[in-house]
Structure 1
Amino acid sequence: MTASSFDPSIHLPADLLERMRARAADYDRDNVFPEADLEDLRAAGYLAILVPEALGGAGLSLVQAAELQQRLAGAAPATALAVNMHLVWTGVAKVLSDRGIEALRFVQEGAAAGEVFAFGISEAGNDLVLFGSDTDAAPQDDGGYAFTGTKIFTSLAPVWTQLGLHGLDTTSPDAPQMVYAFVPRSDAVRMRDDWDTLGMRGTQSRTTELHGAVAPPERVVRRIAPGPNPDPIVFGIFSVFEILLASVYTGIARRALDVAVDTAARRTSKRTGRTYGQDPDIRWRIADMALAYDALPPQIAAIARDVDERADHGPRWFSLLSGLKHRAVTAAKQIVDEAVLVAGGSSYFASSELSRLYRDVLAGLFHPSDPESAHSTVATAWLGPLEP
């Protein structure tokens, strides 16, 4: 599908978005996974938007998927963030396939068949993220691996069918090696019911314990040296993860802006008798929100297009991607803060959509790259590494 012929409403019709928006508050209040949202998205073929048409998907580009995730997040932020983690793996499969590597074809075929892929990378205290792991990857005689360790923030916990993860092989002759693989749900994978958070409650990103969870040899997709590595699997995960995360929080920002505009048009000042949309201070505040928001979608589209078109930014890639995510989440938080002020005291009530957006947007600060990591990466890109 070409960019000029892309119609987002085909994949996310307005009535579907409104159904999900209407359910979002209940999922947040009850702290449960949005089962009905997932079923609607599965029925719409959304789980396979990044899968080639030849394999049963929609064949969309990363640019187009990013636009769709902004729309979805504007209706149901937690649903969008949860689905993001599935789309990351289908996006990585696309990045690798575009570069002639078919190691994740089973992800594409599985997504088209209705499988749900979760993202098992985060570990408590592991600030190496993709460059190291506290999870043990024990080689098996048949070429598979058994994983033992604990993963945190495992979105889609109640529903995933395959968990993409990494671990460290310390016993093979060429050890240490980072191992990327996929394990199915089994008794060796236990999920704690511990997701009781301030926001993004519907993601149900629970802690996952791995007790010798086995990835068969055909699901071991990469073995690479730990530490910074230009391997396509590292680039694929980092690029798709950062772009789609930026998209979710940009979608939240747009919804907050829309709510603020609507509120300003409806609220009337007792002092002047005019709507708040005619108040100079409110107009300045909304203009400030719009100025921040307008910069985000073009940045996302530009970086995503470079990934789609295999642009060569060399070592600058990681600073560009971490910078994109950082700008999106910090701008989104600023925009939601301003929207709350425009709406006034009503936004302080738990029943207010802005109250939920205010809580949801905070989660963006905790995803990799966090502010410290983003600044370190960008400083290195411009100033070189720290001297020993």
Structure 2
Amino acid sequence: MLDLFIRSDKQKDWLQKLRKLEAKYKNRAAEIDELAIFPKENIQELVDMGYPSVTLPANFGGEGLKVYDMVMLQETLASFDGSTALSIGWNLGVVGEIFETKSWTVKQLNFFAKEILNGALVNRAASEAQTGSPTRGGRPGTNAVRKNGAWVLTGRKTFTTMSPVLTYFLTSAWIEEEKMQGHFLLHKDLEGLSIEETWDVISMRGTGSHDLVLDGVTVDDSMLVERLDGPRGGKVNGWILHIPACYLGIAQAARDYAVHFSNHHAPNSLNGPISQLPNVQQLLGEIDLELIRARHLIYSVAAAYDDESRRGLIENELGVVKHTVTNSAINIVDKAMRIVGAKSLQRSNPLQRYYRDARAGLHNPPMDDMTIKKLALSAIEKDMAKKS
């Protein structure tokens, strides 16, 4: 199915590189999930092949891949192992967004680009227990106080994906003296910065999304890289499409397993495999219908975002993609499990892992209720504008 969307030799080259990892990543996936182990070996292999810097612009030394390219590679990687894909996807998205918006100073961008090219990994640390998702506009409970020409940060962040191997934490904090939110680039070795291993969930168990604890962390003024007057969620950011791309890859893996199973499972009550049964064919057809619909949506919106002349027109579509693809992934895995039957519930069967991992997408931003509400408000406002 993916071949239809390949547009360049660079995409083909990177897909070929990633597909060489397929067997080993799939073999490791069960243990990663069972023991909730962060896939350090997988991430290091991706670092060694230069994957974390693919969304860094070419003029900064990277591959210069766009959102469309990222979606394709992340979907493929997620079909091997969801935890690995979601983890590294945050790095790709953050890097892509930073260098696209260019809200940092030139000096900061040059410094950061060199770090990424040298293998540094980054993710945003924005969620907190008291504020919930940062996209809902809650003020950070983490505080930044200016002292002796530097900043001192104190607080705790939750859901810090890939925390075991992150080099930098792009951390939100409230600057009381300026009455606004700031984002600080914190190196993992700063005194007072630690990771508390709190990640104990049933989905995406290998993402290492532990708590980041900041106990009077002092950082240079140059590491205050962003100031925000309002919530970050107000900006159109196509790089969040790495999230639905991940769940699309998981859905594809579930589909492939179900098709293979139906072609090879032949109970003695039949004269052949269960793929000849009308009810199985119905489910397989519904699965591919969902996949085709979801895939065309995500790639069309990604292509529109990469076209700067159309970017401002798809603010609602980004949320729609995440909503549609995530819910489709859940439906696809459910149908695959219906085909396979009780065997899909065995802990040794990958479908039960796909089922649990796909559910995690509901809680990645933006949430379904926000997407639906935004569509409604947009329709209402446009109609009112016509009347006025």
| TM-score (normalizing by structure 2) | 0.89
Residue aligning to 1:71: 76
**Which of the residues 310, 327, 330 maps onto 1:330?**
327
Residue aligning to 2:221: 217
CA distance 1:215–1:353, shift in 2 (3 Å): same
Q: Distance in 2 between matches of 1:89 and 1:217?
A: 21
Q: Which range is displaced more, 288-297 or 85-94?
A: 85-94
* Contact 1:93–1:108 (Cα < 8 Å) also in 2: no
Deviation at 1:89, TM superposition (A): 1.3
Residue aligning to 1:307: 305
Residue aligning to 2:151: 145
* Contact 1:152–1:207 (Cα < 8 Å) also in 2: yes
1:92-133 residue CA offsets vs partner (Å, 9 max, x unmatched): 123214x99755443332211100112201122425614343
Q: Which consecutive unaligned segments of at least 5 residues does structure 2 have?
A: 1-5
Q: Distance in 1 between matches of 2:331 and 2:36?
A: 26
Residue aligning to 1:183: 186
CA distance 1:364–1:128, shift in 2 (3 Å): closer
Q: Work out whether 1:133 is the aligned partner of 2:139.
A: yes
* Contact 1:50–1:87 (Cα < 8 Å) also in 2: yes
CA distance 1:197–1:113, shift in 2 (3 Å): same
Residues 85-100 of structure 1: matches in 2 within 5 Å? 85-97=90-102
Q: Distance in 2 between matches of 1:354 and 1:51?
A: 34
Residues 343-354 of structure 1: matches in 2 within 5 Å? 343-354=340-351
Q: Work out whether 1:165 is the aligned partner of 2:171.
A: yes
CA distance 1:369–1:229, shift in 2 (3 Å): closer
Alignment-mate amino acid for residue 17 of structure 1: E
**Which of the residues 30, 37, 55 maps onto 1:32?**
37
Q: Which consecutive unaligned segments of at least 5 residues does structure 1 have?
A: none
Residue aligning to 1:258: 256
Residue aligning to 1:379: 376
Secondary structure of 2:31's counterpart equals: helix
Q: Work out whether 1:370 is the aligned partner of 2:375.
A: no
* Contact 1:144–1:220 (Cα < 8 Å) also in 2: no
CA distance 1:292–1:58, shift in 2 (3 Å): same
CA RMSD of the aligned region, Å?
Answer: 2.4
Alignment-mate amino acid for residue 107 of structure 1: F
CA distance 1:159–1:281, shift in 2 (3 Å): same
CA distance 1:267–1:337, shift in 2 (3 Å): same
Deviation at 1:303, TM superposition (A): 2.0
| TM-score (normalizing by structure 1) | 0.89
**Which of the residues 151, 154, 165 maps onto 2:160?**
154
**Identity, % of aligned pairs?**
24
Residue aligning to 1:235: 236
CA distance 1:9–1:356, shift in 2 (3 Å): farther
Q: Distance in 2 between matches of 1:199 and 1:318?
A: 29
Alignment-mate amino acid for residue 94 of structure 1: F
1:158-206 residue CA offsets vs partner (Å, 9 max, x unmatched): 111100121221223xxx2121221111232222111121021110100
Matched residue pairs, number? 374
